[in-house]
Amino acid sequence: MLLIAGLGNPGPQYARNRHNVGFMAADAIARRHSFSGFSKKFRGEIAEGTIAGEKVLLLKPMTFMNLSGDSVGEALRFYKLSPSDLIVIHDELDIAPGKLKLKTGGGNGGHNGLKSIDAHVGKDYRRLRIGIGHPGHKDRVSPYVLGDFAKADMEWLEPLIDAIADHAELMARGDDAGFLNKIAMATGGTAPGPAKAEKKTETATGGKPAPAGKSHIRQARNSAQPKALPTSGPMADMLKRLFGAKDD
């Protein structure tokens, strides 16, 4: 048996918060794999189903994020499961939006939900970390995670949540690399990329850049313009004879 806990805060006012992305993933897995409806148990909401031929329990703690371990620990003890049978899905500030990491153990990174679970069951469980990005300063973290995803975030969030549900079988089997690879393939191009680098002030060869607004073709045309006509020598004499030019 496998216990998958999606973390979040209860109540409609928190439903679209960045901190609730674990709830969103749990709901998507339940829909995709035809789980039973969620019912109240273990100070949370729990649904039962089967993934990859194994019985799976989906748990959404209703204790608020900071006390997630109360609910998760109670469920784990009731079913006599070990931390290795637990997968926790949660938001991660230190991962770019739309990116995932799946690993066993590790630190909590200041995440209060993980701190609570660590205190109840130890650290040897798997964590599916869903990147939401960082607001830039620690003083802005709380309002950021408790703020709703922006409308523009839906472009990467919805495909990502769907992909997690679609490929949950690989995660349930313990094929973490295969799972992450499928997610990357399914969401290719939807997650925000890195910021574009600033334009350099010199060319690759060290010269000055072309004037703004001039294309490479225009630069080539300008370089093809004829140079000033010679005023002395055999060529100058020939031109004078051809065009009847007079000496000064």
Query: Mind telling me the catalytic residues?
Result: 19
Helix (H) or strand (E) holding 40: strand 39-41
* Pairwise CA distance, residues 192 & 98, whole Å: 7
Reported residue count of the chain is 248
Any idea what DSSP says for residue 152?
G
> Which are the contacts of 228, defined by CB distance < 8 A and separation ≥ 6?
none
Q: How far apart are CA 196 and CA 198, in angstroms?
A: 6
* HSE-up (13 A, CA, CB side) for residue 153: 17
What the block records as the tokens of 141 is 């973290």
What number of other Cβ atoms are within 10 A of residue 123's Cβ? 15
CA distances from 44 to 51, 89, 90 (A): 21, 15, 16
DSSP-derived secondary structure letter, 85: G
| Adjacent-strand bridge partners of 41 | 44
The Cα 56–Cα 48 span in angstroms is 6
**SS3 per residue for 86-105:** EEEEEEECCCCCCCEEEEEC
Please state the separation of Cα 187 from the chain's center in Å: 10
